[in-house]
Amino acid sequence: MSEFRTLEISDSRFESDNLRFITVKTPNLKGRGDICVFAPPDIPDDLSLPVVILLHGVYGSAWNWAYQTGIHLKANEMIRSRELPPMVLAMPSDGLWGDGSGYLPHHGNDFEKWIAMDVFNAVEETIAGVQKHSPLFIAGLSMGGFGALRIGAKYGFKFKGIAGHSSITNLEQMKLFVEEDVSGLMQQDEVDHDVFKTFQRFRGHLPPVRFDCGSNDQLIEHNRLLHRQMLDAGIEHVYEEYPGKHEWPYWAEHIVDTLRFFAKQIRR
């Protein structure tokens, strides 16, 4: 029986480049949410495929990762060359509230649980090779990095690895990007506003962590601070800097570093 009242998936006759589209109705959004999915071809149904959830940033939606970076094409090439094991990429919308939901519960919607619970359940119901025990990973860029790192830590018992690119590290940084008053996104527990504080609280089940940022990115100092905080706290992680700004060419280049990082966790 489905987890969802309604679930629609694209017709395989009209799909291209191994991309599929799913729409589900969930109480967490009080409506429908979209997921763009890359499913590698020619995979036996009995294989338990890893699933990587990729979160977009502000202004975006479910199509961003595929049609701004071509990550589905890159992943397919890397799988064929055996640089990556076969894996599914699940690319959901954030819930489409304002310029960005922050992947937090607010305004009567639970954008956090939409990502942490609904996305995998929808993929498991619809994509051959995805099973309840499939290894699960999460990554994102900018606002999506905030969501991936925070949700990945908070639900660390579900995830085998988490990563962020050019990540917002504290909710206050949303002011740099959105026109809405971010006070509407504030949580009762202030730990939920900050990636490092979330890491501290949930370090007992924290999955392997990787994050990077461009040296000319407006969020670089915030990412450097998170790195220093984690070093001081003795929280194991991988942090890297590369040339680049807060823009799609940077994320298109370095998302493959995260996929390689996740592949290492699978092969251990």
pLDDT of residue 1: 78
Q: What is the pLDDT of residues 212-227, one digit of tens each?
A: 999 999 999 999 999 9
pLDDT of residue 45: 67
Q: What is the pLDDT along the chain (268 residues), one digit of tens a residue?
A: 799 999 999 999 999 999 999 999 999 999 999 999 999 998 776 689 999 999 999 999 999 999 999 999 999 999 999 999 999 999 999 999 999 999 999 999 999 999 999 999 999 999 999 999 999 999 999 999 999 999 999 999 999 999 999 999 999 999 999 999 999 999 999 999 999 999 999 999 999 999 999 999 999 999 999 999 999 999 999 999 999 999 999 999 999 999 999 999 998 7
Among candidate residues 260, 166, 153, the one with its CA nearest the CA of residue 209: 153
Q: What is the pLDDT of residues 147-164, one digit of tens each?
A: 999 999 999 999 999 999
Place of tokens 């450097």: 224
CA distances from 166 to 2, 55, 143, 169, 190 (A): 36, 12, 9, 9, 22
pLDDT of residue 251: 98
How far apart CA 55 and CA 126 sit, in angstroms, is: 20
User: What's the number of CA atoms in the CB half-sphere (13 Å) around residue 108?
Assistant: 2
Domain boundaries, the chain: 7-267
For residue 12, with 0-12 CB atoms within 10 Å meaning exposed, 13-18 middle and 19 or more buried, which class applies?
A: exposed
Alpha-carbon radius of gyration of the chain: 17
Contact 61, 159 (CB under 8 A): no
Q: Following CA atoms 116, 118, 120, 122 in sequence, which dihedral angle do they give, to the nearest 10 degrees?
A: -170
CA distances from 21 to 18, 111, 189, 208, 240 (A): 10, 19, 35, 29, 33
How far apart CA 74 and CA 84 sit, in angstroms, is: 10
How far apart CA 234 and CA 1 sit, in angstroms, is: 44
Among candidate residues 201, 175, 206, 177, the one with its CA nearest the CA of residue 190: 201
Q: What is the pLDDT of residues 69-108, one digit of tens each?
A: 999 999 999 999 999 999 999 999 999 999 999 999 999 9
| Distance, C-alpha 171 to centroid of its chain | 17
CA distances from 220 to 56, 84, 162, 166, 193 (A): 18, 29, 19, 7, 18
Q: What is the DSSP letter of 70?
A: -
Q: Following CA atoms 169, 171, 175, 180 in sequence, which dihedral angle do they give, to the nearest 10 degrees?
A: 140
Task: Specify the CATH architecture of the domain 7-267.
Answer: 3-Layer(aba) Sandwich (3.40)
How far apart CA 42 and CA 83 sit, in angstroms, is: 17
| Distance, C-alpha 5 to centroid of its chain | 24
CB atoms within 10 A of CB 243: 9
